[in-house]
Amino acid sequence: MSTYAVGDLQGCFGAFCQLLEKLQFNPQNDHLWLVGDLVNRGPQSLEVLRFASNPKNRVRAVLGNHDLHLLAVAYGNRSYHVRKDTLDHLLNAPDAEYLLHWLRHQPLLHHDSSLRTTMVHAGLAPDWSLLQATHYAEEVETRLQGTDFKSYLSQMYGNVPDCWSDNLQGMDRLRYLTNVFTRLRYCNTHGQLLLDDKGTPGTQPDGFLPWFQHLQQWPNNQYLLFGHWSTLGSTTTPSHIQALDSGCLWGGELTAWCLDKKQRISIDCEAEQNPQDYSS
């Protein structure tokens, strides 16, 4: 029995099936973690969500920025729909409401104490402990899963506030937390977020570093998995922090991390050819 964490899919279901075949994934014995951004920009977001929401496939997923964007388009305002989105097929599917309900009830952080591993989509603020991060994630999850979730979705966009304060309240507080968990790449030692810079390390303004270089309270014996940053490239992270977005959508690779063996397994994503049907 193995547990595999897989990087950003973004609707690339064909590549996902090829990776599962390479892993010899058996849902009767194995477990899958998905690091968020399950949907959008790729061609088969509907198939990805049908697979992920099927209890037989034993999937644990966290929400990414594209997943929240889908929910905002579906429940907030269709004007959020941008030209590059590939969400119409999913939104018009007969089981769309079921899939969206499932997605809305996924967490922003998943932790398995037996595997000593935590998964988020984008990152964590510099001074957060695991306990703090868990509580902050639950704040957002409670709002997203509650009866006023549409109000949250209509107000979650924006880059302010970009600094944390214990005094933050309401949507300012939730927006900062959401941005950390689903959009963060660079920050400074004070936790100020630099959200619009998406390039490789070395291209960012002075005073900002990749968020994982600022972590202060994360022990070396606790693994931390994240995605979101396809341009991270060959940048080295500490061995207990694994970056899993290897740019499948852009013709790079789709990467899995075997939590049991501490091993990376990848496939080339330049072509999707005759994927095995794992969607049933």
User: What ranges in the chain are assigned the alpha helix state H?
Assistant: 13-23, 45-53, 65-75, 88-91, 96-104, 130-144, 149-155, 170-183
pTM: 0.94
Tokens 């990467």 appear where? Answer: 255
Q: How confident is the model over 219-257, as pLDDT tens digits?
A: 888 999 999 999 986 677 888 999 999 999 999 999 999
CA distance 167 to 193: 17
For the chain, domains (ranges, CATH) are 3-157+165-182+215-268 (3.60.21.10)
State the pLDDT at residue 234: 62
Q: How confident is the model over 210-222, as pLDDT tens digits?
A: 999 988 888 888 9
* 172: pLDDT strictly greater than 70: yes
158 vs 216 pLDDT, higher one: 158
Q: How confident is the model over 73-105, as pLDDT tens digits?
A: 999 776 677 888 999 999 999 999 999 999 999
Q: How confident is the model over 8-37, as pLDDT tens digits?
A: 999 999 999 999 999 999 999 999 999 999
